Protein backbone atom coordinates (compact mmCIF):
# COMPACT_ATOMS: atom_id res chain seq x y z
CA UNK A 1 0.00 0.00 0.00
CA UNK A 2 1.31 3.39 -0.96
CA UNK A 3 -0.75 6.41 0.07
CA UNK A 4 0.66 9.93 -0.14
CA UNK A 5 -0.66 13.34 0.86
CA UNK A 6 0.87 16.34 -0.90
CA UNK A 7 -0.35 19.38 1.00
CA UNK A 8 0.59 23.00 0.44
CA UNK A 9 1.54 25.40 -2.32
CA UNK A 10 0.09 24.49 -5.72
CA UNK A 11 3.43 24.87 -7.53
CA UNK A 12 5.36 22.80 -5.00
CA UNK A 13 2.78 20.00 -4.80
CA UNK A 14 2.60 19.84 -8.60
CA UNK A 15 6.38 19.70 -8.84
CA UNK A 16 6.52 16.94 -6.22
CA UNK A 17 3.91 14.98 -8.16
CA UNK A 18 5.96 15.35 -11.37
CA UNK A 19 9.01 13.92 -9.58
CA UNK A 20 6.89 11.06 -8.22
CA UNK A 21 5.58 10.31 -11.73
CA UNK A 22 9.13 10.13 -13.11
CA UNK A 23 10.13 7.61 -10.46
CA UNK A 24 7.15 5.33 -11.17
CA UNK A 25 7.44 4.55 -14.88
CA UNK A 26 8.49 5.94 -18.25
CA UNK A 27 6.05 8.55 -19.61
CA UNK A 28 4.63 6.30 -22.34
CA UNK A 29 3.68 3.60 -19.81
CA UNK A 30 2.51 6.02 -17.16
CA UNK A 31 -0.13 7.59 -19.40
CA UNK A 32 -2.05 4.32 -19.52
CA UNK A 33 -1.57 3.82 -15.79
CA UNK A 34 -2.56 7.21 -14.40
CA UNK A 35 -5.87 8.63 -13.24
CA UNK A 36 -6.44 12.23 -12.17
CA UNK A 37 -9.70 13.25 -10.55
CA UNK A 38 -10.90 16.30 -8.67
CA UNK A 39 -12.85 15.81 -5.47
CA UNK A 40 -15.99 17.12 -7.18
CA UNK A 41 -15.85 14.33 -9.78
CA UNK A 42 -15.19 11.27 -7.64
CA UNK A 43 -16.96 9.03 -5.17
CA UNK A 44 -15.48 6.46 -2.83
CA UNK A 45 -16.75 3.68 -5.11
CA UNK A 46 -15.07 5.21 -8.16
CA UNK A 47 -11.83 5.71 -6.25
CA UNK A 48 -11.82 2.05 -5.16
CA UNK A 49 -12.49 0.95 -8.73
CA UNK A 50 -9.56 3.01 -10.07
CA UNK A 51 -7.24 1.77 -7.35
CA UNK A 52 -8.26 -1.87 -7.86
CA UNK A 53 -7.39 -1.78 -11.56
CA UNK A 54 -4.11 -3.55 -12.20
CA UNK A 55 -1.35 -1.71 -14.06
CA UNK A 56 -0.98 -2.27 -17.79
CA UNK A 57 2.57 -3.28 -18.81
CA UNK A 58 3.99 -1.42 -15.79
CA UNK A 59 4.72 -2.14 -12.16
CA UNK A 60 2.47 0.57 -10.72
CA UNK A 61 -0.73 2.52 -11.27
CA UNK A 62 -0.92 6.16 -10.13
CA UNK A 63 -4.22 7.54 -8.85
CA UNK A 64 -4.33 11.24 -7.94
CA UNK A 65 -7.27 12.90 -6.20
CA UNK A 66 -7.08 16.67 -6.04
CA UNK A 67 -8.89 18.77 -3.43
CA UNK A 68 -10.56 16.03 -1.37
CA UNK A 69 -9.10 17.06 1.98
CA UNK A 70 -10.18 20.66 1.39
CA UNK A 71 -13.83 19.62 1.17
CA UNK A 72 -13.65 18.56 4.82
CA UNK A 73 -12.37 21.89 6.15
CA UNK A 74 -14.62 23.72 8.59
CA UNK A 75 -16.87 25.95 6.51
CA UNK A 76 -19.02 28.92 7.48
CA UNK A 77 -22.61 28.41 6.37
CA UNK A 78 -24.79 31.20 4.94
CA UNK A 79 -26.30 32.03 8.31
CA UNK A 80 -22.94 32.41 9.99
CA UNK A 81 -22.84 28.95 11.57
CA UNK A 82 -19.76 26.88 11.04
CA UNK A 83 -20.14 23.49 9.44
CA UNK A 84 -17.81 21.10 11.20
CA UNK A 85 -16.86 17.61 10.20
CA UNK A 86 -15.87 15.14 12.86
CA UNK A 87 -13.64 12.15 12.20
CA UNK A 88 -16.73 10.01 12.69
CA UNK A 89 -18.80 11.95 10.14
CA UNK A 90 -17.34 12.06 6.64
CA UNK A 91 -20.32 11.91 4.28
CA UNK A 92 -19.63 9.54 1.41
CA UNK A 93 -16.10 8.65 2.52
CA UNK A 94 -16.63 6.35 5.50
CA UNK A 95 -14.69 3.15 4.91
CA UNK A 96 -11.78 4.72 3.06
CA UNK A 97 -9.26 3.70 5.73
CA UNK A 98 -10.46 0.10 5.82
CA UNK A 99 -10.07 -0.02 2.03
CA UNK A 100 -6.36 0.77 2.38
CA UNK A 101 -5.85 -2.64 4.01
CA UNK A 102 -6.87 -4.38 0.78
CA UNK A 103 -5.72 -1.85 -1.81
CA UNK A 104 -3.41 -3.52 -4.34
CA UNK A 105 0.28 -2.96 -3.59
CA UNK A 106 0.74 -1.87 -7.21
CA UNK A 107 -1.42 1.24 -6.66
CA UNK A 108 0.11 4.55 -5.64
CA UNK A 109 -2.66 6.79 -4.33
CA UNK A 110 -1.95 10.50 -3.97
CA UNK A 111 -4.17 13.10 -2.31
CA UNK A 112 -3.07 16.55 -3.56
CA UNK A 113 -4.45 19.55 -1.70
CA UNK A 114 -3.83 23.13 -0.75
CA UNK A 115 -2.91 23.77 2.84
CA UNK A 116 -5.32 22.08 5.24
CA UNK A 117 -5.55 22.44 8.99
CA UNK A 118 -4.16 19.70 11.18
CA UNK A 119 -7.68 19.37 12.62
CA UNK A 120 -9.21 18.58 9.21
CA UNK A 121 -11.39 15.51 9.81
CA UNK A 122 -10.23 13.56 6.76
CA UNK A 123 -6.59 14.51 7.32
CA UNK A 124 -6.80 13.23 10.91
CA UNK A 125 -8.24 9.91 9.73
CA UNK A 126 -5.78 9.39 6.87
CA UNK A 127 -2.50 10.64 8.33
CA UNK A 128 -1.71 7.28 9.96
CA UNK A 129 -1.91 5.57 6.56
CA UNK A 130 -0.15 8.14 4.39
CA UNK A 131 3.25 9.58 3.77
CA UNK A 132 2.69 13.29 4.25
CA UNK A 133 4.64 15.90 2.34
CA UNK A 134 3.88 19.37 3.69
CA UNK A 135 4.96 21.98 1.14
CA UNK A 136 4.04 25.49 2.35
CA UNK A 137 4.68 28.56 0.21
CA UNK A 138 8.09 29.98 1.16
CA UNK A 139 8.05 33.46 2.68
CA UNK A 140 10.68 36.10 3.40
CA UNK A 141 14.24 34.81 3.33
CA UNK A 142 13.01 31.30 2.47
CA UNK A 143 11.39 32.71 -0.69
CA UNK A 144 14.59 34.50 -1.69
CA UNK A 145 16.52 31.26 -1.11
CA UNK A 146 13.95 29.32 -3.18
CA UNK A 147 14.26 31.76 -6.10
CA UNK A 148 18.06 31.73 -5.85
CA UNK A 149 18.12 27.91 -5.88
CA UNK A 150 15.69 27.88 -8.80
CA UNK A 151 17.91 30.24 -10.79
CA UNK A 152 20.92 27.96 -10.22
CA UNK A 153 18.84 24.92 -11.20
CA UNK A 154 18.02 26.62 -14.50
CA UNK A 155 21.71 27.40 -15.05
CA UNK A 156 21.27 31.18 -14.82
CA UNK A 157 22.57 33.99 -12.67
CA UNK A 158 21.02 37.10 -11.14
CA UNK A 159 22.34 39.90 -8.99
CA UNK A 160 21.22 40.16 -5.37
CA UNK A 161 19.46 43.44 -6.18
CA UNK A 162 17.70 41.84 -9.16
CA UNK A 163 16.65 38.88 -7.02
CA UNK A 164 15.16 41.13 -4.34
CA UNK A 165 13.40 43.28 -6.95
CA UNK A 166 11.90 40.20 -8.60
CA UNK A 167 10.57 38.89 -5.29
CA UNK A 168 9.33 42.36 -4.31
CA UNK A 169 7.29 42.78 -7.52
CA UNK A 170 5.95 39.25 -7.90
CA UNK A 171 5.65 38.16 -4.29
CA UNK A 172 5.19 34.54 -3.33
CA UNK A 173 3.36 33.35 -6.45
CA UNK A 174 5.74 30.52 -7.35
CA UNK A 175 4.07 29.93 -10.73
CA UNK A 176 4.69 33.55 -11.76
CA UNK A 177 8.22 33.53 -10.34
CA UNK A 178 9.09 30.37 -12.25
CA UNK A 179 7.68 31.82 -15.46
CA UNK A 180 9.77 34.95 -15.04
CA UNK A 181 12.88 32.88 -14.38
CA UNK A 182 12.26 30.94 -17.60
CA UNK A 183 12.40 34.21 -19.55
Output the pLDDT for position 77: 46
Output the pLDDT for position 74: 66
Output the pLDDT for position 10: 94
Output the pLDDT for position 76: 43
Output the pLDDT for position 90: 65
If you write DSSP's letter for every residue of 129-177 in order, what string do you get? TSEEEEEPPP-THHHHHHHHHHHHHTT----HHHHHHHHHHHTT-HHHH
d(CA 45, CA 108): 17
Output the pLDDT for position 119: 84
Q: Which residues of the chain have pLDDT under 50?
A: 76-77, 87
Sorted by sequence, the CB contacts under 8 Å of residue 156 that are 6+ apart come out as 181
Output the pLDDT for position 162: 87
Amino acid sequence: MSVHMLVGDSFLTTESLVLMRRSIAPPDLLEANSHYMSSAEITLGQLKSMCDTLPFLAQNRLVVVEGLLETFETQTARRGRKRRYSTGNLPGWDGLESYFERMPPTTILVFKDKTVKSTNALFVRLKQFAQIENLPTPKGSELIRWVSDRIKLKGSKISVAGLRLLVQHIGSNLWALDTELEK
